[in-house]
Chains A and B, each alone.
Chain A
């Protein structure tokens, strides 16, 4: 599986956009980029995923560079409830996917 690199921590003011970067320079052509988050002591929560194109859902937007070597998760209006560890994961494909979690980015949203 391709490895990902994320900053260990970030701060964001409530109401502002949170932009979380991720590098995945060794990603292969058929691997997807997934984002999950984990709020303290809970199970990881799926946010969004993409292959090449930018994606948006009710939670977030995912911007993937044209060379696919990096991506950015955007939370458009961060709230205190978005404080969590955010994991960027590149998935292997197959009969069942294998998620290899990196250390993630701890996002702290403040008033």
Chain B
């Protein structure tokens, strides 16, 4: 099973709202990732968690707050977003170590900020 699930599939929020994106995997992977993809652009890495600790933050604004409550779950808390934050948010997971950590992606959450 190489499935990564993401909820919700679609999300519309106002600039004053607080919402959360959820990602789940049951492959025993210990690294999880958030990517952001704008229309017609490639995915861009936002955060990496390795063994439930934040290991990479690609200078993401503080209105995006990641959380890894356990090895299977990854959340992205959203607060005071801007319309330009509208994008497809992708979660991925991998088994870290050894230099060949294949990442498996979820279907994404399509976010629209009004």
Contact = CB atoms under 8 A, between A and B. Distances in A.
Interface of A: 30, 32, 34, 36, 41-46, 49, 51, 87, 91, 93, 95-104
Interface stretch (B11-19, B59-67, B75-83, B90-98): B90-98
| Most chain B CB neighbours (cut-off 10 Å) among A34, A98, A99 | A99
Q: Place the interface of chain B in its size category.
A: 20 to 34
Given A41-B88, A43-B105, A96-B55, A32 B99 contact: yes
Chain B binding surface, main DSSP class: strand
Chain A binding surface, main DSSP class: loop
Nearest to A31: B99
The 9 closest A-B CB pairs, nearest first, are A101-B42, A43-B105, A96-B31, A93-B99, A97-B101, A96-B50, A96-B96, A44-B105, A95-B50
A43 B107 CA distance: 4
A99 B45 contact: yes
13 contacts: A32-B99, A42-B108, A43-B4, A43-B107, A43-B108, A46-B102, A46-B103, A95-B50, A96-B33, A97-B31, A97-B94, A97-B100, A99-B43
B103 A97 contact: yes
